[in-house]
Amino acid sequence: MKPTNFLLSAAAAAITAGAASAEDMTLVSWGGAYQASQQKAYAEPYMEMHPDVNIVWDESSAEAVAKLRAMNEAGNITWDVVDVVASDAIRLCDEGLAMEIDPDTHLAPAPDGTPASEDFGDLLVSECFIPQIVYSTTFGYRTDLVGDTPPDDICDVFDLEAYPGKRSLEKRPINNMEWALLCDGVPKDEVYDVLATDEGQDRALKKLDTIKDSVVWWSAGADTPQLLADGEVVMGSTYNGRLFSLIEEQKQPVAMLWDAQVFDLDGWIIPAGLSEERKQRALDFIYFATDTQRLADQAKYISYGPARKSSAPLVGKHAELGIDMAPHMPTDPNNAKNTFLYNYEFWADYRDDIDAKFQAWLAQ
Amino acid sequence: MTDASQTAGPMLAADGTPLKQSLARSLRRQKLRALFLIAPLLIFVLVSFIVPIGSMLFRSVENSIVRDTLPLTVDALQSWDEKSGELPDENVYEAFVRDMIVAIENKEHTRLGSRLNYEETGMSSLFRRSGRQIKKLDPETDGPFKEKLIDIHDGWGDVKTWQVIKTHSVPITNGYFLNAVDMRRTPDGPRMQPEDKRILVKLFGRTLFMSLVITGACILLAYPVSYLLATQPTRVSNMLMILVLLPFWTSLLVRTSAWKVMLQQQGVINDTLVWLGLVADDARLIIINNQIGTIIAMTHILLPFMILPMYSVMQTIPPSYTRAAKSMGATNWTTFWRIYFPQSIPGIGAGSILVFILAIGYYITPEIVGGTKGVFISNRIAYHISSSLNWGLAAALGTILLAVVLILYWVYDKIVGIDNVKLG
Amino acid sequence: MAALTPISRKPLSMVLPSVALAGAFAGIFVGAGNGSVPMGMIGGAILTAGLAWFYISVLRNERLAYWINILGFGLAGFLFTGIGGGILGLLGGWFFVWFTYWLYEGRYRRKLLPYLTAQQVFFHYLFRVICGAIFVFLITPILVVLPLSFNAQDFFTFTPEMLRLDPEGYSLKHYQDFFTNNEWQRSFKNSLIIAPIATIISVSLGTLAAIGLSQSHVPGRRAIMAILISPMIVPLIISATGMFFFYSDIGRFLEGTLGFNKTFVGYLKVILAHAVLGIPFVIITVTATLVGFDRSLTRAAANMGAGPVRTFFKIQMPLILPGVISGGLFAFITSFDEVVVVLFVGSASQKTLPWQMFTGLREQISPTILAVATILVVISIALLTTVELLRRRSERLRGLTPA
C-alpha cells in the first residue's frame, strides 16, 4: 500500500503541475471540419480576450441527450456549453436539462441595434436554444458511377434500376421517412400529416423496404464522405458542409444533389444546474460567440448559413480556398429550388414513437 | 505405552500449549494473513465495481417514475377495473389533470411519456402533445375533465392508454425483463410482443451463435500456431510470438478500421480478387456489414486471447510422451489424438472460455463492421443507453447477458478450474 | 534437430510432377486473369515443369538458372501488366527456381530427422504453410495500416497514385499532424499519465491478492476469485454506466467535501476505473504462476530467519516476476486501449489517446489515427525485440545454452 500511496501523490503532483493555471471550459461539439470552424471563429478569439479561460472540446454532441441526462441524474455536470441540433435542444428543454435563455438580455443585439429575438426571428425554436447555423441534410453522388444522367431528383435515391449500387442513409428515421413518403407520392405539405398516423409510418417503411438491401446505414458524420471517397456507395445523405469539404477541399469526384434538401438548425444550449460562476462564464461566451460578426466569421470556414439575418451580408470568401461561399450555402437560390422544412414540433412529439418502430424495422 | 500416554496428556507443541490448539491457531493466523493480503483489492473491487454495477442492474426492476409523477392518478386508478373495457371515471381524469399540471411545472411529463412509450408506441407524442393544452387548465374551476381531455387528444378516450398507465404503476416491475425476452406486461399478465417487435430473443440467439462460431474459428486457427510456437526452440518461438503480440498491441479501433478497409466492396480483398480475376468486377463479395464481416474481424481480434493460453499449456506437455508413443509403434495420428491432444485440452478450454466471454460482450467491432445483421446484443444495450435512453431495458438485457456469462464461468470453474487459465 | 541429415538428389519423376502441381496452382490465377482457368492451369504446369527439366537436365548450372528464371518471369510480368506484374513476376520466378532446386537437391530434408517417411515430411511442410497463412492473417491489418498512414489524401483509401507507387500519392502530413496538433499531443500525454499509474495500482494490489489467494486455506476462495475476475466478464458498456454514477459521487465528495483540485480528481477517477479493469489480468497471470511455485522455498527462507517481507522480495518476487510482468503488460494495454469507460467516466480534460482516436474515426476522416497506430506499432516492435535480445543476453551471461 505504501508504494502506491507514494506513487499516487507523486502522480498528483505531476498532474497538477502539468495542468495550465487557466480554468478549463468544456465545449461540446461534433468534431471534424465543423468543430474546426468553431475553434477558429469563436474559441480562439475568445481565449485571446480571456487568457484565464482554457477551452477544451468534447466531441460528444451525438450523445448529448443521453449524457446530459446521466450527468443531471448524477449531479455531476462537466459540460459548460453544448452544441446540439434543434430537436435535441427542444427535448433537453422539455426535460429541464437545459437552461432557459432570454434572447434579448443574454444575446448581443445586431450592429444596427435590432434586438436578438428579432435578428434570429423564427429560428428561436425553443426557450433554451441559441441558434448558430442553418444547415441541410442532402445527398452527394459519385459523378463517375452514375452514368451519363446524373441524379437530379430525390426519388432517384429509390430508383435501383437507373442508379444501381449502394446508398448510405442515416441510421435514424428523421429525414429518411420524409423522403420515402415524398417519393411514394405524398404531396410535400401533407408529409407530416401522413407521418403522424400509423398507416403513414408503415407506408414510409414499406417504401424504404424497397431499397433496404442496398443501404449502408451511417451513424457518424464522417461515414458518408468516407464511403463516397471509397466508391463504396453511389450516393449518400449527409450534412452539406461535409460534402462541401469532400468536393472543394478534398477534390473528390462527387457532386451535390440538392433536391429536397432538409433544412435544419444547429446551435448552443447551456446545461441546467451549473454553478453560478460557470453559468456566468458560459453566458459570457455565448454572448460573444453568437454576435453578428462571429456567426459570419464561421461561414468563412464551412458552408453553413449563419442563423442571424444581420450576418448574411457579411458572408464572404473561404478563408483558405478563397472561393466565394455564397453559392455553396444551402440557402442559395440555385440550391434551394426545392427544399423541405424540417418540422421540429412534429419530431419532438413523435421521435420516440417512430424511432421505436424504425429500429425494430431495421433489426428485422 | 499406557504410562507414557497418561503422563504426557495431550500432545504439546514446543511452547507447551497443546499441539491441536497450536495448529488451529497457526491455521487461523494463516487464514487471516491470506485475507489480509486479499482484503485491499477485494474491498476496492467491491466498492468501486460490484456495488456500482449492482445499482446499475437494479434499474432493470426499478420503476417508480409512474407513481412519482402521477401519484393521485395511480391512487384513483386502484378502483378502476382495467378489464371491464370501459373508460375510468371522472375522478381519475381530475386526478390526472392535477398530477399533470405539477409534472409539467417540473418538466417531468415528457420523461414519463418516453417511459411509457417503451411499452406502447404512441404514448410519448400523446404526453407531449397534450402537455401543452393541459398546462392551461385550472383543476379547481375547469372541471369536469373527461370530455375536455378526450377533446385534447383522443388517446385519452382509449381504454388502452389507461391500462398501460395502471399496469406500469408498480414501483418494482418485471416489465423490463419481459421486454428483454420479447414479452410485455398486460392487464391479463405477461404476453408476447406483437410479431414485428420481437427482435431481442433472436438477437440473443444470434449473439450466442456468432460467439460460438468465432470461438470455433479461433480454436481452429490458434491450435496449429500454438503447437508450432510450443515445439520450436525458444529463440524462434519468441520471434514468432512478436507476430502474435503485435496485433494485440495495436489499438482495437485501428484494427477494426483496417478490417473495414480490407473487407469493403472496394476494399483490399475484393480488389485483389478482382485483379486476379477470381471474382467478376460486378460480383464483388459482400463480406462487410453482415455477419461474415463481424466474424472475420472478431476472430482476428480475439485470436491472441486463444493462442496465449493454448501456448502456455502446450509448453508444459513433455515431448517425451509423444516420442514414447511413437517408439511403441503408434502412428502419427494416434500419437496426436491419444497422447498430445488430450493434454492440450485445458488450453483449448481456457482459451475458449476467454474468447467466448469476451466475444458476447463486444460492441465496438460489430458496430463498425456488422451493419444491421452482424450486430450483437451489446450493440442493442449501447443503443438503449445512449440513444433511446431506455436504461431499464438496457439493464435488463445486461443482467441476462451477465447471468449467461456467470453460468459459463461456473461451468468452466467446475470443469477446468479458474486457476488453470494462463495468459502468456 | 540441429544435426544435419545427409541429403541426396531426388529423381525427376518426383520433382517434375510436384513443380507442375505448383505451377498449375499459380496458373489458376494467371488463367483467371486472362479468361480461362483450365488453360492457365495446363499452361502453368507445362511451363514450370518444362523449365525445371531444362535447368536440371540441360543447363546444370544452378546460379545461371536462378538468374534466367527470375529475370525471365519478371520481364514477362512487366511486359504483360506493368510494374505490379513485374514485381510479382520477379517473386514468382525466384520461388519456382528455388522450389525446383529445393526439391531436386533434397534440401527439404536437411533439417528433418533422417527416419521420417515421405508422408511425414509432406505433412511437416503442409503444417508450416498453414501456420504461415495464419500468421499472415494475424499481421495483414497492420500491413494495411502502415502504407495508408502515408496517404497523401485524407481518407482510408488506397488511391491509384499509391498503387502506382507514385511519390505524389504519399506524404508525411498525418505524422506532422500528430506531432503538431494540440489535441493529439494532449491526449497522448494523458494516456501516458493514466495507463502507467493504473497499471501500478492493479499490479501491486493484484499481486498481493493473488499471493493471498494461493495460500492453502482461504475461506470463500471461489467467490472471491469470481468477484475479482468480474471486471473482465461484465460487458463494458454496463460497467461504464455503472461506474459513471459511482465516480460522479466520488468526484463530488472529493471536490466538494475534501476540497481537492478538480483536475486531480478527474484523473483519479479515470485511473481508478482503469485499474479495476486491469485487475483480472493480473490476478489470472499471477495465480497461474503461483500454481507452480514451490512453497518449500519460502519455508526454507523463513527457516533461515528471513522475515515475511524479506522472503517476499528476495525469494517469491523474483520467481513470480514473469507472471507479474505479463499481467502488468495486459493491464497496461487494457488502459492504453480502452475507450468505452473513459468516454463515460472521464471529462474532456482527461481525453486519452483511444478517445481521440475514436472521435477521429467517427467524426473526422483523418488517417492521423493510422499514423499514431504505426508509431505505436514501431514502438512495440522495438520494445518486444529489446526484451527478447535482453533475454538472450542474460542467457548467454548465465552460461545457458539457448533452449
Subunit contact C362:A31, Cβ cutoff 8 A: yes
pLDDT band of B2, cuts 50, 70, 90? very low
Put simply, the answer to whether B389 touches A232 (Cβ < 8 Å) is no
Output the pLDDT for position A20: 42
The yes-or-no verdict on residue B376 having pLDDT over 80 is yes
Q: Which of B31, B268, B398 sits opposite C238 (nearest CB)?
A: B398
Task: Report CB contact under 8 Å: A225, C365.
Answer: yes
Point out the residue among A14, A76, A222 whose CB comes nearest to the CB of C248.
A76
Q: Indicate the residue of C155, C248, C344 with minimum beta-carbon distance to A226.
A: C155
* C-alpha R_g of chain A: 22
Nearest Cα to Cα of residue C142 among B368, B247, B256, B252: B247
Query: Within a 10 A sphere around the Cβ of C72, how many other Cβ atoms?
Result: 15
Give the C-alpha separation, C193 to A11, whole Å.
8
**DSSP SS3 for A138:** strand
Nearest C-alpha of chain C: how many angstroms from A9? 10
In CATH, the architecture of B200-420 is Orthogonal Bundle (1.10)
Q: Return the partners of chain C (3 or more C-beta pairs < 8 Å).
A: A, B
Q: Is C263 on the interface with A (CB under 8 A)?
A: yes
Is pLDDT at B213 greater than 80 in this prediction? Answer: yes
Neighbouring-strand partners of residue A263: A136, A341
Residue A196 CB neighbours (<10 A): 16
Cα(B11)–Cα(A255) distance, integer angstroms:
96
Q: Tell me the whole-structure pTM to 2 decimals.
A: 0.88
Amino acid B184 reads R
Q: Using 50, 70 and 90 to split pLDDT, how confident is the model at B1?
A: very low
Non-local CB neighbours of C169 within 8 Å, separated by 6+ positions = C151, C152, C159, C160, C161, C162, C163
- Smallest CA–CA distance from C291 into chain B, residue: B419
pLDDT of residue B364: 87
Best to test chain C binding among A30, A73, A78, A80 (most C CBs inside 10 Å): A78
Q: How many interface pairs between A and C have CB atoms less than 8 angstroms apart?
A: 99
Residue type at C241 in one-letter notation = T
The Cα of A80 is separated from the nearest Cα of chain C by a number of Å equal to 11
Best residue in C238, C376, C394 for a mutation probing chain B (most B CBs within 10 Å): C238
Rounded to whole angstroms, how far apart are CA atoms B121 and B125? 9
Pairing of strands A167-170, A215-218: parallel
pLDDT of residue B212: 95
- Give chain C's radius of gyration (CA, Å): 30
How far A18 CA lies from chain C's nearest CA (Å)?
10
Percentage of residues in chain B with pLDDT exceeding 90? 46
Three-state SS at B138: coil
- % of chain A residues with pLDDT over 70: 94
Are A22-134+266-324 and A137-263+329-363 in the same CATH fold? yes
Task: Pick C359 or B296 by higher pLDDT.
Answer: B296
Q: What band does B379 get if pLDDT is binned at 50, 70 and 90?
A: very high
- Contact between B223 and B345 under an 8 Å Cβ cutoff? The reply is no
3-class secondary structure for B256-310? Answer: HHHHHHHHCCCCHHHHHHHHHCCCCHHHCCCCCCCHHHHHHHHHHHHHHHHHHHH
Distance from CA of A67 to the nearest CA of C (A): 8
Task: Return the closest-CA partner of residue B308 out of B258, B358, B253, B373.
Answer: B358
Task: Give contacts of C275 with chain B, Cβ < 8 Å.
Answer: 44
The answer to whether the beta carbons of residues C165 and C241 sit under 8 Å apart is no
Judged against a pLDDT cut of 60, whether residue C3 lies above it is answered with no
- From the list B355, B379, B357, the residue with the least C-alpha distance to B369 is B379
**Contact across the interface for C33 and B275, Cβ inside 8 Å:** yes
Confidence of residue C400 (pLDDT cuts 50, 70, 90): low
Residue B210 near residue B295, CB atoms below 8 Å? yes
B197/chain A closest Cα distance in angstroms: 6
The shortest C-alpha distance from A204 to chain B (Å) reads: 16
Residue ranges covered by each domain of chain B? 2-58, 65-197, 200-420
For the segment C337-381, what is each residue's pLDDT rounded down to a tens digit?
899 899 889 888 899 999 998 888 887 767 888 899 899 888 888
Could you give the CA distance from residue B221 to residue B215 in angstroms, rounded to a whole number?
10
In this complex, do B42 and C229 lie within 8 Å of one another by their Cβ atoms? no
Q: Give domain limits for chain A.
A: 22-134+266-324, 137-263+329-363
Region C298-320 average pLDDT = 85
Q: What is the pLDDT of residue A1?
A: 37
| Per-residue confidence (pLDDT) for residue A87, from 0 to 100 | 87
- Interface contact A352-B388, CB threshold 8 A: yes
Q: What is the mean pLDDT of chain B?
A: 88
Tell me the chain A residues in contact with residue C156 when contact means C-beta distances shorter than 8 Å: 226, 230
pLDDT at A2: 43
Q: Cα(C236)–Cα(C340) distance, rounded to whole angstroms?
A: 7
Closest CA to B69 of C366, C335, A96: A96
Q: B402 and C232: CB-CB below 8 Å?
A: no
Average pLDDT of span C81-94: 84
Do residues B209 and B93 touch, judged by C-beta distance below 8 A? no
Residue (of B301, B271, B368, A36) closest to C157 by Cα position: B271
Asked if the model's pLDDT at residue C395 lies above 90, the reply is: no
Quickly list H helices, C253-307.
262-291, 296-303
pLDDT over threshold 90, residue B161: yes
Residues A16, C252: C-beta atoms closer than 8 Å: no
Nearest to A355 among B199, B372, B388 (CB): B388
Closest CA to B248 of B120, B358, B325, B409: B358
The model's pLDDT over C214-253, given as tens digits with 9 standing for 90+, comes to 887 788 888 898 899 889 878 888 898 889 889 988 888 8
pLDDT at A177: 95
C154 contacts on A by Cβ (under 8 Å): 250
Considering only CB atoms, A348 lies closest to which of B128, B383, B387, namely B128
> What does residue A237 show for φ and ψ, rounded to 5 degrees?
-90, 145
> Helix B19-45 and helix C221-233: axis angle, to 10°?
20
Residue B420: pLDDT over 70? no
Task: State whether C362 and A12 contact (CB < 8 Å).
Answer: no
Does the beta carbon of C215 lie under 8 angstroms from any beta carbon of chain A? no
Tell me if B289 and A359 make a contact (CB, 8 A cut-off): no
- Name beta bridge partners: B192: B183
Residues of chain B contacting residue A65, judged by C-beta atoms under 8 Å apart: 389
The per-residue pLDDT for range B181-197, each reduced to its tens digit, is 999 999 888 999 888 88
SS3 B169: coil
Q: Any residues with CB less than 8 A from the CB of B200 and at least 6 apart, and which?
A: B179, B180, B181, B182, B377, B380, B397
Give me the architecture of the A137-263+329-363 domain, per CATH.
3-Layer(aba) Sandwich (3.40)
CA of B373, closest CA in chain C: separation in Å? 20
Regions of chain A with pLDDT less than 70 = 1-22
C349·A26 Cβ contact <8 A: yes
pLDDT recorded at residue B416: 66
User: Which domains does chain C possess?
Assistant: 12-115 (no CATH), 183-366 (1.10.3720.10)
Q: Identify which of B217, B249, B367 has the alpha carbon closest to the alpha carbon of residue C145.
A: B249
Which pLDDT score is estimated for C312?
84
Q: What's the pLDDT at C94?
A: 92
Peptide bond between residue B190 and the one before it cis (omega within 30 degrees of 0): no
Q: How far apart are CA C73 and CA C66, in angstroms?
A: 11
CATH of A22-134+266-324, one of 3.40.50.300, 3.40.190.10, 3.10.100.10, 3.20.20.120: 3.40.190.10
A217:B372 CB<8 A: yes
